[in-house]
Amino acid sequence: MVTTSAASAISAIERTCSVPSLLGSLFIITTFCSSKLFHKPISRMLFYASFGNMMSNVATLMSKSFIDQPNSAGCQTQAFLIETFMFADVFWALAMATNVYLTFYYRFDGVRLRKIEPLHIGLCYGIPFIIAVTFIFVRNKDGVRAYGNANLWCWLTVEWDAWQLATYGLIWLIILIAFAIYVRAGITIYKWRNRLNGFSNSNELNTSSQVAQNSDLPGIAKTTKITITTSDSTPPGFGQPFGSATRPEPVHSANIYTGPAPPIANSSEQRNIRTQHPDRRRRSPSDEAAMSYAKCALLFFTAMLITWIPASANRLVIEIDNALASCGPGVVLRAPGSEQTTHIIREGGFCEDEVVVLSNKFQWLPCDVDLDPETSKAKIASYINNLHPQGHTHLYPIIEKFIEKSLPAWDIIYDWEDTFSVQRLTTTETEYDECPCPVLCDIEDGHGCTPGRRPIGEGEEPRYDVDSWEEMLADGEEDDCEPDYYELGAEKAEDYKTNPERRNLDDAWFASTHSAKLPDADPSAKDHMRIQSSDVKANGFFNSSSQIQVIVKLANIHLTSEKPAYNGGSWHTEGLLNEHIVSTALYYYDSENITDCTLNFRTCADKED
């Protein structure tokens, strides 16, 4: 997906180029109506096709005006015009190629071609019209129309991908048929020219008349008339005149006169009668008309190819690797090298594990968001990962509104370290509410609450452990013997190693049965963060930046009678330092028939970074 500025430039170019195309169509219509000299077969075909081209220009002049309103009359009308008249050009190219075929191989003249023009008009406009009208009434199971945001204008959305491919397939089938006709016509013309060029000078007819002085017949004059008829070498079916069905054969005549013999006893006079060689004579008007028709039709076909090859190539690239579009044109931060991935945050309390915060394999894909420094309007300029802008057109404006509402708070967080003081909630260790299962945790003996106190489930392997303290006492060992907690910890680690799922079960049980006491902030403390109305900006966010990157995550939670509650669990940041996430905002975009939800943004850590 292109950026907003690039999309605006494309839209401007699209509208600018539509104007000369529209004027060209008007010129064709005007010249055709102004003089009968333009009423040739090819001119009539261009005249009929110009009306469809004009309607296509109307659609392209509308450009992106209605893509944000897929259900509006404007969007549906634009999509209808594109589906009907833009694709009609392809049918007209086939109609012109068909006329070339009929002229070359079935001896169709101008009169016969004119008789089939109503059929061309009905098919070239009728077939796309039926398809376009059908799509107006097509909806999916959610009631979403087939016509909607197609990026540059309104057309079939990505949700109707199969119909897009079917449309392109029909177009290229027509293109290939027309191409095959022109190839065959070209081969025929090539063979014909070779046949003409194959004639040698032997076709020159030398006719000699030897006249001798006859002593017997003095004073006698003799006249000889020679008539030579030549046949045309043009292949049958080609070059028939558009206005007649027969063709006169050329006739050449020469008269030779002989008079009284000169005084010389024997003299001769030679006359050469030369027929005009077929490749030296000018092509007949019928040949010229056929060749002119073929050239104009081929030119129209070439223009149509220029229109559809780039669009088809772009569609093919998306179909081959649809994941290409999800990266967008923005710069995605790459993961640091392996030498930097050892950076960790050591957490406090029971969170003693080293947490890797950088990854060379995974990263959230952000979308680019253009910001207007003056109006604070946000416009998503690239593709939201896994949220296609055509299939989910209606969500993009909603997300943009959420981003706009988040900008003031994000701007404060962006600047808080230098401008605001933030209160830290300090604690020495994690404290829990009263244990709900003191027997399991053996509170009286002081063993304390740990995840390893979870009861073994049915069918679960026994824990791998050394003899417990109670077993040691039962064996008669000294009463003051203390268990080897270091050895117990090592065996516990071994137990988790051989049963990796057990640790998850233990942690889940402990989290569900033991609630940690979370210290509250003191609003009266000096270091408590206080924000005044003057601290909140209305525009010029992030030092008047024109673009930011936002990671968007959408989630739906449906509660039913079988699943009446959603426990959720601890909220956590799902990004790593690769993404350089500065701040986060959460919105409930819809809530119905459920109780209020609460969120706590807390974590235990002993480092600012």
- Could you give the CA distance from residue 347 to residue 206 in angstroms, rounded to a whole number? 113
pLDDT surpassing 60 at residue 84: yes
Q: What number is the average pLDDT over the span 24-31?
A: 92
Tell me what pLDDT residue 438 has. Answer: 74
Query: What tens digit of pLDDT does each residue of 302-338 get?
Result: 877 777 777 777 666 666 555 444 444 444 444 444 4
pLDDT surpassing 70 at residue 86: yes
Which residues on adjacent β-strands are paired with residue 222?
258
Q: Work out the percent of the chain whose per-residue pLDDT is above 70.
A: 61
User: Counting every residue, how long is the chain?
Assistant: 609
List of domains in the chain: 4-196+286-320 (1.20.1070.10), 203-278 (no CATH), 339-427+525-579 (no CATH), 434-514 (no CATH)
Which residues on adjacent β-strands are paired with residue 252?
228
Mean pLDDT (the chain) is 71
The two three-digit tokens of residue 330, written as one number? 């923005």
442: left (phi over 0), alpha (psi -120 to 50) or beta: left
Tell me what pLDDT residue 315 has. Answer: 66
- Could you give the CA distance from residue 577 to residue 335 in angstroms, rounded to a whole number? 9
DSSP state of 227: E
Tell me what pLDDT residue 119 has. Answer: 94
Tell me what pLDDT residue 31 has. Answer: 92
pLDDT surpassing 90 at residue 384: no
Query: What tens digit of pLDDT does each residue of 177-191 get?
Result: 988 888 888 888 778
Instruction: State if pTM tops 0.85.
Output: no
Q: Work out the percent of the chain whose per-residue pLDDT is above 90.
A: 14
pLDDT surpassing 70 at residue 218: no
- Could you give the CA distance from residue 102 to residue 106 in angstroms, rounded to a whole number? 5
Q: 234-243, 387-396, 472-481 — which one is most confidently predicted on average?
A: 387-396
pLDDT surpassing 80 at residue 91: yes
Amino acid identity for residue 439 in this structure: V
CA 2 to chain centre: 11
Rounding to the nearest 10 degrees, give the CA dihedral for residues 518, 520, 526, 531: 110
Q: What number is the average pLDDT over the span 108-129?
A: 92
Q: What number is the average pLDDT over the span 562-583?
A: 67
Tell me what pLDDT residue 573 has. Answer: 53
10: left (phi over 0), alpha (psi -120 to 50) or beta: alpha
Tell me what pLDDT residue 225 has. Answer: 45
Query: What tens digit of pLDDT does each residue of 498-528 get?
Result: 677 787 888 888 877 877 777 777 777 776 7
Tell me what pLDDT residue 569 has. Answer: 56
Tell me what pLDDT residue 51 has. Answer: 94
Q: Is 411 helix (H, G, I), strand (E, B) or coil?
A: helix
pLDDT surpassing 80 at residue 431: no
